[in-house]
Amino acid sequence: IKRVIHGTKASDYMVPWQAFIQIKRSDNKIVRCGGSLIDKKYIISAAHCFDKVSKEPQSIRIILYLSHDDLNIHSAYAGGCQGVGRCTIRDFNADVAILKLPSSVQTNRYVRTLCLPNKRILSSNLGNLDCRVAGWGNTRVSGSVSYPRYLRWAMVSILDTDKCNKSVAYRNSITNNMLCAGKWEGGVDTCHGDSGGPLMCRLPNSPWMLMGITSTGKGCAQPMSPGVYTKLSSPIINNWLSHFIQ
């Protein structure tokens, strides 16, 4: 479960689709993850966040638009969800979940939906895209955990899959359902607490689009170990999502 390393405090309205998700597991452990509002009734996140989720009522708590200095006040939506749909997951392949909200969210300048990738952005050179990640995850590479009070973001680049599959990196474990993004030299990354959050990219003069979901990685911000993200444009994942989002 991942976090933003060497990120910057996000300003108001900067990531208006970002959700904070708190999950109570069957072993009573509390897990924190991120998500993205992709429709007025649906939030997309990572499937592994919901492993061993408790069957108790209100085991999943979602907050949209947070006052950036407090995770419990000034929220446009705070509550649970009607259900969680999870794509088949094995070794983080197709690591995606859909959360259905009990009612539609009212969008405004604080809360907006994030577009899914279109043909124009997919036909471009992904390495040249302006891409960012965001989350409330731990901000320390080593030592004790330190969760920020403020939403943080960082700029990353989508990296070539063949490069990420080299023996010095992920040893051919990056599948067609994954993207790797970050900095090859390390230093900037997502990590613990950021799982499920957005890898968002855009072309010049175009809206932000959800290219990936924070999923896994080798350590945090390490050289030759960029973050691994669920690839939203994968045909398997795209077809699965179409059952929920028309």
Give the distance from CA 16 to its chain's centroid.
13
Q: State yes or no: is 48 an active-site residue.
A: yes
- In the chain, the amino acid numbered 32 is R
Q: Which of 8, 5, 1 is nearest to 189 (CA)?
A: 5
Active-site annotation holder among 36, 39, 48, 189: 48
Catalytic residue among 39, 75, 95, 189: 95
95 is catalytic: yes
Which residues lie closer than 8 Å to 29 by C-beta, 6 or more apart? Answer: none
Give dist(CA 97, CA 195) in Å, integer: 11
DSSP readout, the chain?
A: -B--BS-EEPPTTSSTTEEEEEEEBTTS-EEEEEEEEEETTEEEE-GGGGTTB--STT-EEEEES--TT-TTSS-SEEE--SEEEE---BTTBT--EEEE-SSPPPP-SS----BPP-HHHHTS-GGGSEEEEEE-----SSSS----SS-EEEEEEEEPHHHHTSTTTTTT---TTEEEEE-TT-S-B--BB-TT-EEEEE-TTS--EEEEEEEE-SSSSBTTB-EEEEETT-HHHHHHHTTT--
Spot the catalytic one: 75, 157, 195, 234: 195
**Which residues does the annotation mark as catalytic?**
48, 95, 195
